[in-house]
């Protein structure tokens, strides 16, 4: 049954939300990889330096992004990226490359979604176990890459203390004080 013809068409953005800002122009399976050919959906892009929106295209180039596995296939996104002229005459950036929200980061070679998956694996496991799990999930990564992700991961927020212990032994040892040498203070 064709989902599109039966009136139950599934939006790509629902299945693959990180690709919602892209137009999928084709899918090719080759050498065990699933290549997704895509381009940005928006006609314009904002300059990262001054924020001016531009639609004047300077040129195009290809970019490869590793992504999470689909249907057991390793996925590589071949994204056609446009370089725009900045619309602001006084801007320090004469041209800039577009970014697709949720899909690309500057100089990144993997999607933020894949980066998050690998970071979680790297933080949870150690050594060969993390490399093996990443490989079996269809997102292989070298030990060096996984280690870098651990190092770049933000430290978990330390929980606020509920009870503080206060050492009053110096004060309470004074001859005028007869109460126990330790006291506890509760903070909310």
Selected range binding Zn ion among 34-42, 82-90, 127-135, 141-149, rule: CB under 5 A: 82-90
Reading the block at residue 54, the tokens are 């531009």
Q: Considering the complex, state which of residue 49 and residue 153 has its C-beta at the smaller distance from Zn ion.
A: 49
Selected range binding Zn ion among 50-58, 114-122, 148-156, 173-181, rule: CB under 5 A: 50-58
Q: Torsions phi, psi of 67, nearest 5?
A: -130, 175
Q: Considering the complex, state which of residue 69 and residue 88 has its C-beta at the smaller distance from Zn ion.
A: 88
Q: Considering the complex, state which of residue 91 and residue 147 has its C-beta at the smaller distance from Zn ion.
A: 91
Site membership for Zn ion, residue 58 (CB under 5 A): no
Site membership for Zn ion, residue 88 (CB under 5 A): yes
Q: How far apart are CA 141 and CA 186, in angstroms?
A: 47
Chosen residue from 42, 50, 113, 150 binding Zn ion by CB under 5 A: 50
Whether residue 18 contacts residue 102, with contact meaning beta carbons closer than 8 Å, is answered with: yes
Return the closest-CA partner of residue 145 out of 103, 124, 177, 115.
115
Q: Considering the complex, state which of residue 69 and residue 91 has its C-beta at the smaller distance from Zn ion.
A: 91
Q: How far is the CB of 45 from Zn ion (least distance, A)?
A: 11
CB within 8 Å of 109: residues ≥ 6 apart: 64, 65, 66
Chosen residue from 93, 112, 113, 137 binding Zn ion by CB under 5 A: 93
Q: How far apart are CA 152 and CA 115, in angstroms?
A: 11
Q: How far apart are CA 114 and CA 76, in angstroms?
A: 11
Reading the block at residue 146, the tokens are 């996984």
Q: How far is the CB of 96 from Zn ion (least distance, A)?
A: 7
Return the closest-CA partner of residue 23 out of 105, 90, 98.
98
Whether residue 113 contacts residue 18, with contact meaning beta carbons closer than 8 Å, is answered with: yes
Site membership for Zn ion, residue 56 (CB under 5 A): no
Site membership for Zn ion, residue 49 (CB under 5 A): yes
Q: Considering the complex, state which of residue 55 and residue 135 has its C-beta at the smaller distance from Zn ion.
A: 55
Give the residues lining the site for Zn ion (CB under 5 A): 47, 49-50, 86, 88, 91, 93
């Amino acid at each position: 049954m064709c989902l599109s013809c039966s009136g139950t068409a599934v939006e790509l953005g629902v299945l693959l939300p990180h690709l919602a800002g892209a137009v999928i122009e084709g899918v090719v399976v080759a050498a065990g990889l699933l290549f997704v050919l895509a381009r940005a959906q928006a006609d314009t892009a904002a300059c990262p330096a001054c924020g001016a929106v531009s639609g004047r295209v300077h040129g195009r180039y290809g970019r490869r992004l590793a992504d999470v596995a689909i249907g057991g296939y390793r996925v590589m996104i071949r994204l056609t990226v446009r370089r725009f002229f900045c619309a602001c005459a006084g801007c320090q950036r004469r041209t800039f490359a577009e970014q697709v929200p949720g899909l690309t980061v500057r100089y990144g070679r993997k999607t933020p979604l894949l980066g998050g998956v690998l970071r979680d694996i790297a933080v949870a496991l150690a050594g060969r176990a993390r490399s093996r799990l990443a490989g079996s999930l269809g997102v292989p990564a070298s030990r060096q890459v996984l280690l870098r992700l651990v190092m770049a991961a933000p430290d978990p927020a330390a929980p606020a203390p509920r009870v503080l212990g206060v050492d009053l032994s110096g004060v309470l040892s004074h001859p005028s004080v007869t109460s126990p040498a330790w006291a506890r203070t509760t903070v909310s």
